[in-house]
Structure 1
């Protein structure tokens, strides 16, 4: 790397500019970097411009929607990221020495999963780390983790953003269920073709998208998609479980939602050999940085350990006990 990209440490006093540059390169825009850094986009842009003036090098080519690193910017980014990682390690060592990670950690999760599997952990985290503040946002919409300033996301499915770390938590198979009382009155469908004769409870998300049901064909792994002919719809699958428990019909829901009711016998799984449980999974993800703060790391580790202890998340739809089946 050329000498003009290696200013002496004493000269490089613009630490805010360095952080703003690295975050902007990772996020791809000043707006997304600003959300990460709790600054305004104008402040991030100003910091980067000040750094460029100090280095006398253009680090980004800018467009109205995107930033692209120049050749000099790419060369500088590797060393800048490593410098910040080392600085962050030093801060983390001091934090660990004091025994207390501190600051706010923002988590985004879907409503049902967050209430059942994330929220119960938070009081223990608060009791364990007196200087830690954890904020949980529950929302079923698609969330841009980086642009909206979240530290951790707990969501269904893998996400395509390569700037994020993704840690698989569990599979999320779905099942068709109905109450024992409903089945005593209406009988259990023997084939998917009999479902329109039953009272069906369907999921229609706020976007208008319908959660379709999938069934295996008689050959191979090929499946067919079917839109339920439901008369009652809701945007939250778990709320339909409440209706199913009350004997109001058949619904498709995440298997982890209903394990306690299957164990108690109040609900039964229908068409297990023909219904396709799907390939969904829950993923914990967070912005990919070479430096991850102690406050975020302690929450990530606690969440992963907590999820491992949830037996409902470990149920294999291919090995359901016979007494759970209709």
Structure 2
């Protein structure tokens, strides 16, 4: 029977196309990973990889074997980890990705209670404005919106991702409040140039009656980060279109006000993404439930709904 180390070396090498990268993820030397794979090939009596100085690719037999293994290895590893812990207590590093402003404002405050309840879990939370590859980058979960739901991923919806127009009270002094989204163009705009396309995002706003209107802003101030947009709005530089969760605290304190309050843009949903492996690690399962339950208890889905005038 093959050892778990041999199978893990094969699966990770196939996943990353490199003995060196597999070794880094497994905290082994490349020589050790190569040796484990060679032992597996010898025991099976087939060559699993085509090797060259520049590339590592699966043979036909290797691809067949990888498909046959499927997600079973992850399940075996999780079962071993939980049995080794001696209890059903969640344990291990919990690596999660989330947007900086949203994560720090709404998710980070949930961490003390979570770690008190599950002290054997070690949090490694990354705050970043990008869509990560959960499997390739070793994340247990990610929180955000707009992820490509590739095979093997599950999305658990937490709240709507609604975009609203905001400005500081100081900026609006002496200015006529806009009555509909088209009037926003007359004000100074704080807009974002997306890193992916290099374009300025123009939103279409809607109301509860279903009417839709384009809401372009003048390109008075251009930044490349949502947090910078919010700070620019707080400084009184103009109007910004931002996600409700990112501006909720400022709206609550009155340091920002919502313009055309019955209009919003729908950017989809804020979801919690995780791998749909046959046996999801217990640390991930309890984290998903903790976040989902917290959102329900705090009624965050309702608070983040731009369709509700604030």
TM-score (norm 2): 0.78
Separation of aligned partners in 1, 2:27 and 2:213? 46
1:29/1:152 Cα in 2 relative to 1: closer, same or farther (>3 Å)?
farther
| CA displacement 1:215-253 (0-9 Å, x = unmatched) | 3599x8776574x32322333324433443454421110
Separation of aligned partners in 2, 1:116 and 1:101? 25
Cα contact 2:8–2:73 (8 A) shared by 1: no
Q: 2:283 is matched with which residue?
A: 295
Q: 1:304 is matched with which residue?
A: 292
Is 1:85 the counterpart of 2:75? The answer is: yes
Is 1:123 the counterpart of 2:96? The answer is: no
Q: Secondary structure at the match of 2:174?
A: helix
The structural deviation recorded for 1:175 is 0.8
Is 1:282 the counterpart of 2:270? The answer is: yes
| CA displacement 1:109-130 (0-9 Å, x = unmatched) | 2111111122112222332333
Cα contact 1:28–1:67 (8 A) shared by 2: no
The structural deviation recorded for 1:106 is 1.7
Q: 1:49 is matched with which residue?
A: 38
The structural deviation recorded for 1:264 is 5.4
Q: Give the aligned CA root-mean-square deviation in angstroms.
A: 3.7
Separation of aligned partners in 2, 1:44 and 1:277? 50
1:71/1:115 Cα in 2 relative to 1: closer, same or farther (>3 Å)?
same
1:1-326 map, 5 Å: 9=1, 12=2, 14-25=3-14, 27=15, 29-30=17-18, 33=22, 36-39=25-28, 43-60=32-49, 67-68=57-58, 70-71=60-61, 73-74=63-64, 77-78=67-68, 81-82=71-72, 85-86=75-76, 88-89=78-79, 91-93=81-83, 95=85, 98=87, 100-205=89-194, 209-215=198-204, 224=214, 226=216, 228-263=217-252, 267-271=256-260, 277-314=265-302, 315-318=304-307, 320-321=308-309, 324=310
TM-score (norm 1): 0.75
Separation of aligned partners in 1, 2:58 and 2:297? 43
Structure 2, unpaired ranges of 5+? none
Cα contact 1:36–1:146 (8 A) shared by 2: no
| CA displacement 1:22-80 (0-9 Å, x = unmatched) | 3455x363466556534466654443232112111233456856744625652574357
Q: Secondary structure at the match of 1:106?
A: strand
